[in-house]
Structure 1
């Protein structure tokens, strides 16, 4: 408990500063999160007996946020991203062909690509979002909504779980309740409304209906992101993705919801405002 508190006290202000700063600092942050989370994902695969192509997967995964940044800055070199991804996929297959090892090739190559798409491709949307109007404020808002959703889903579930709905939310995570899920959605929508009408997004054109829709979408995707990582951990028979954050587990444990929320928020903003 003490280590969790220390990490939160030291980490939250630093994280807020990075999200609001954007630019190269945000790019560095994205690289650290993606690189560490990918390493944890492949490590979980290896501990479960699988053989991901870790080095190629890491190189391909780390290329995505950097080429995204270059592209968003308007440099033509950034348009090479589709080529890099295509080359990476071919190299993954070529490496196994050269090994002349066909056993579990589809599983291991597929798992390697899953890590790249799930972690790197989805989370790299944080770079693209930073280039939208008020993009850094929306990134901070996304993170606040995730914190609120996670906290209130837990506390509402702890206090009222299984009292109204006897069945749980999902067998993937038996402790989660439907009441907790609904509580997370309600307080996430409420938080977005407060930010929109009383704090730093007062100039945003987001309507009341938009607040409701975005709050629901983000909360649902945050909770699915959490369940998604639990799905993989159950498959790999691993409790935590790592221990780099002490009592908070690994980087993937802390950012599983944001991995789903960032692209969700990005495309909602594109639909609503662009």
Structure 2
């Protein structure tokens, strides 16, 4: 300075001086902190490594950022689905509680339906409900038929109802067995011969007519037609069948027989003959002299 006055004029004011002094102290403290951090072993070892590939680091950063966004979106979606599933679970629980009585009623109805249909394991005979009801009627028909079958078979055969379990997957409840008095055993009706089967069928038809008459308050079935089957009978069997049919006529029943058996002509008092022709069939009432 040229003079003391010039030096005094250049002297900083006390506040400005203190501000600059504080700044210097701060800068010195920051420099010491940076030097201390740079002296740390981790930074010293990192500084000894080769230079970093900034482009590769930037790419890795971008990829990591993209994966983070995807993970965040997946986490948000999962949280939403979890919340939705929680709501659905609560709704299903409420519905299950509300439907409990209906489900119990359904199970009872289903059990009864399977039992009635014969498909339930509780139905030991696999018998349908309608078969069960019809079996009672079949027992009545078999009992009514047996009386006539005994007569037609000279005391040998009677019919009995069987509710035994059928083989395989067949339903049970409407089977018939024939009891052979000669052997004392019962057997399947399929073992009967042709003539014997005719006896059984005729006896069942007549037994059914008797049961229907009883069930209808005594209203009789006045007319009965029998179509064929007589050709399988021998002379003695034919006589026994006709005796039974004559017994029906004595009770004011009209019995019609459809047959080609010539031996019947001498036993049938009234005959309606059918003649085939080129232009169709014709009917003619036979004269008694033709019998």
Q: Normalized against structure 2, the TM-score is what? A: 0.21
The answer to which structure, 1 or 2, has the higher relative contact order (CA under 8 A, 6+ apart) is: 1
Q: Which has the higher helix share?
A: 1
TM-score when normalising by structure 1: 0.22
